[in-house]
Copies of this chain bind each other. A is one copy, B any other.
């Protein structure tokens, strides 16, 4: 009874930063600007630079975070939009990027990691319960409102959810040009090829029926 488009939108959150890695301490720049040549077929660590003559102010700006994402389009009730080097080519070699997340009432940005970046989120509107878990398995969480910020240390599992009755939105910054995101339920249960069932059964101490049920619900039809 799950709607495929719902599931697909769950994926759209997950894939936001895909084919990317994460940040935290990107290598330093070696010149003022090395604006990403996103069309180059050459691949290096990061991106090759556009010819200087073609660089303009458009390479350093982005309007894609101005409007709220459609939180009705996802099963988890949240929708993220990234502003990484893939959208702002001027970010190449500069070690920073942004994202916007919108949340329906009750909406959740499910537990995920950014392998290459610490994140810091500023609440644009609404009220969010936010938290991260340390490697000592301690949850550090707080409920924050519009104008408040919260920090998610590099690589640690974290989440947010809208505990209010109105929509919420947050602006996040990352100290990487491409922070990388692994939404953990999707990573574990929808990877392709699939993670061996036995690995999931042992990890969660569940049976194959339960593994299949989760896979079934999370996989886009």
Contact = CB atoms under 8 A, between A and B. Distances in A.
A203 B76 contact: yes
B60 A51 contact: no
How many copies of the shown chain assemble into the complex?
A: 6
A38 interface: no
A61 B173 contact: no
A181 B151 CA distance: 19
A150 to B, nearest CB: 5
Interface in A73-113: 75-77, 83, 88, 90-98, 106, 108, 110-111, 113
Interface in A175-201: 175-178, 180-196, 198-200
A5 to B, nearest CB: 15
A168 to B, nearest CB: 15
A126 interface: no
A134 B32 contact: yes
Contacts of A108: 198-199, 202-203
Chain A: number of interface residues, binned into ranges:
35 or more
Contacts of A165: none
B65 A137 contact: no
Nearest to A94: B118
A140 interface: yes
Given A93-B45, A150-B60, A155-B180, A26 B20 contact: no
B2 A30 contact: no
Given A44-B44, A180-B155, A32 B27 contact: no
A213 B210 CA distance: 11
Contacts of A60: 140, 142, 150-151
B115 A32 contact: yes
A135 interface: yes
B113 A147 contact: no
Contacts of A176: 30
A161 B116 contact: no
Going nearest first, the 7 A-B pairs with the smallest beta carbon separation are: A115-B155, A66-B147, A173-B173, A110-B203, A27-B27, A43-B49, A205-B217
